[in-house]
Structure 1
Amino acid sequence: MLTRDMAAMAEVHPLTGLLSHLGLMVWSAGAAVCFLGAVYLYRANEPGVGFFFWGSALTTWLLFDDAFMIHETLANWYLGLGEKAVIFALGLAVSLWLYVYRKLLIALGPFFLIAALAMFALSVGVDAFPEEMFPLSYLGDWRLLLEDGAKWIGIVLWLTFQIQALLSFLERAPASRNVSA
């Protein structure tokens, strides 16, 4: 069961969950960008290592949470933690990262980060309210597209911010400095 493709096991169309799968790929890219940024800056003895290291850790957690439904299911099954507790802890971790690196985030230009957080908030907000609640009751199946689409756009904006941040650091690094192997 752990090695088989989910679509094959469930006997559903291979494109089932396409947006979710693409989101996992984008999360992975974001984690890689941050991790490689942290390694490069560490080896070049440049500032920003902690920012990218913790950004990578946070993005990796978001990747695993999304891939394995940790906040929806696994945390409850194995740790006895409810969905709200896990989301609260995640929100706390994001808030701490934002607070610790607030000056750096502002200096980097936080447009894509703010846009990503807004999309995540929209997704969580749509998910948090009952389907019967106005105006969500009028959306029908479009509600899922709003929830998952906002999340996917947020993931892409999160990656965009990370790439922009790393490029900003790399552009500031002296061109003559070589990073030895």
Structure 2
Amino acid sequence: MNLPLSSGFWGPLPSRAKLLFAGLLIGFPGSLLGAVFLQPWAEPKWMFLDALTAAELSGDCCHVYYGFISNLGIMLWSGTAAVCLIAALCLFKGKAPRQALRFTASACVLTGWLALDDAFLLHELVLPSLGLPQPVVLAATAALALLYGAMNWRLIFSQEWWVLGLGAFGLALSLGVDQVFHSLSPGLVYLEDSAKFFGIVCWAGFHLMTVYLLLVDLFQTKAEDADD
């Protein structure tokens, strides 16, 4: 199995597919967020906040649209973690290079943690209530992310790393707004959670495409070995 360390995942794709993928990264979150802002039936703020917070603060419990954007983000986290786990198992079974296995396994662990944290408010409520301060939890998450980057930087930079960079920027901006302002004013909620959702989409897009490329390469290698 030859890892695609030079061309990036754009390499095997025709120009039309490249434009489609780039358009999805920008168009999907942009269109969805725009629809949430422009719809006339509900206050967008409650669609951005997680469902529990929206139900608690709105004074009007409950509506099915509470936490709409937040829940979609959790679904993207969870789906990406699941795909990375399945890919890691396939690569392990196929005796793929250690670099590919390390990437998919560490991406599964980090993304899975982020999904759990987002879904159950671990760093905001659960772990602080158990005596673990929020800054410590955030620092541990940052350390896990740095470890992931240190383990996989060669493979990441061989791909379209700017997609992951955009995702990391969106997530960092969201966290920064949350930590600096600690505000539930609509404008800051829109900024924080729009940046977060955009970051999740880019994070998921990068990992799903990279995993796809690694699996295709594995299957092609196995098919060539079978023909020989």
User: What one-letter code is carried by the residue in structure 2 that aligns with 1:50?
Assistant: R
Q: Which runs of 4+ in 1 moved over 4 A?
A: 5-10
Asked if the contact 1:34/1:56 (under 8 Å) is kept, the reply is yes
Give the TM-score normalised by the residue count of structure 2: 0.67
Q: CA-atom RMSD, angstroms? A: 2.4
Provide the C-alpha distance between the structure 1 equivalents of 2:208 and 2:190, rounded to a whole number of angstroms. Answer: 26
1:148/1:8 CA distance change after superposition, 3 Å = closer
Asked if the contact 1:27/1:155 (under 8 Å) is kept, the reply is yes
Asked if the contact 1:37/1:52 (under 8 Å) is kept, the reply is yes
Asked if the contact 2:102/2:151 (under 8 Å) is kept, the reply is no
Provide the C-alpha distance between the structure 2 equivalents of 1:112 and 1:76, rounded to a whole number of angstroms. Answer: 33
Cα offset for 1:172? 2.6
Match of 2:87 in 1: 37
Give the TM-score normalised by the residue count of structure 1: 0.84
Identity of aligned residues (%): 31
Provide the C-alpha distance between the structure 2 equivalents of 1:38 and 1:151, rounded to a whole number of angstroms. Answer: 26
Aligned pair count reads 167
* Structure 2 unaligned spans of 5+: 1-50, 224-228
Match of 1:121 in 2: 172
* Structure 1 unaligned spans of 5+: 133-139
Match for 1:55 among 100, 107, 114? 107
Match of 1:68 in 2: 120
Provide the C-alpha distance between the structure 1 equivalents of 2:219 and 2:108, rounded to a whole number of angstroms. Answer: 24
Match of 2:209 in 1: 164
Provide the C-alpha distance between the structure 2 equivalents of 1:155 and 1:46, rounded to a whole number of angstroms. Answer: 28
Match for 2:74 among 10, 24, 28? 24
1:18/1:100 CA distance change after superposition, 3 Å = same
Q: Does residue 1:104 correspond to 2:149, yes or no? A: no
Q: How does 1:115-154 map to 2 (within 5 A)?
A: 115-130=166-181, 140-154=185-199
Match of 1:46 in 2: 96
Asked if the contact 2:127/2:133 (under 8 Å) is kept, the reply is yes
1:21/1:131 CA distance change after superposition, 3 Å = closer
